Amino acid sequence: MLLGETGVYLLMAVVSLISTLAVYMAVRERDLVKAVIYSALQSGLYTTLYFLLLAPDIGLVYIPVAVGLIPGVLLILISKTERWERE
């Protein structure tokens, strides 16, 4: 590998931290469209973790479902309701 074992672990830690921040932002966001975007970002980062954990088959299935299909359906549902969450 190009990074070496320590580099892979460091990259996994950074990706995990960023995905945790994306989950936090998705939960705290009042604008539902932005929350869906944060959720898709988190899913993309999880896909990166799958590839780093040497599970590319799971990553290749997870990309279209979690980054494409689910956010697309959620955006269609949001368009039929209100975009902003009430307090």
> Is 84 inside a domain boundary?
no
Q: At what angle do helices 4-28 and 32-52 cross, to 10 degrees?
A: 160
> Is 18 inside a domain boundary?
yes
Task: Count CB atoms within 10 A of the CB of residue 87.
Answer: 4
Instruction: Assess whether pLDDT exceeds 80 at residue 1.
Output: no
Q: What are phi and psi of 31, to 5 degrees?
A: -85, 115
> Is 41 inside a domain boundary?
yes
> Is 71 inside a domain boundary?
yes
Task: Count CB atoms within 10 A of the CB of residue 22.
Answer: 20
Number of structural domains, the chain? 1
Give me the domain span that covers residue 25. 4-79
On average, the pLDDT of the chain sits at: 92
pLDDT digits (tens, 9 = 90+) for 4-58: 888 999 999 999 999 999 999 999 999 999 999 999 999 999 999 999 999 989 9
> Is 86 inside a domain boundary?
no
Based on C-alpha coordinates, what's the Rg of the chain?
15
> Is 52 inside a domain boundary?
yes
Helix or strand (DSSP H, E) at 32: helix 32-52
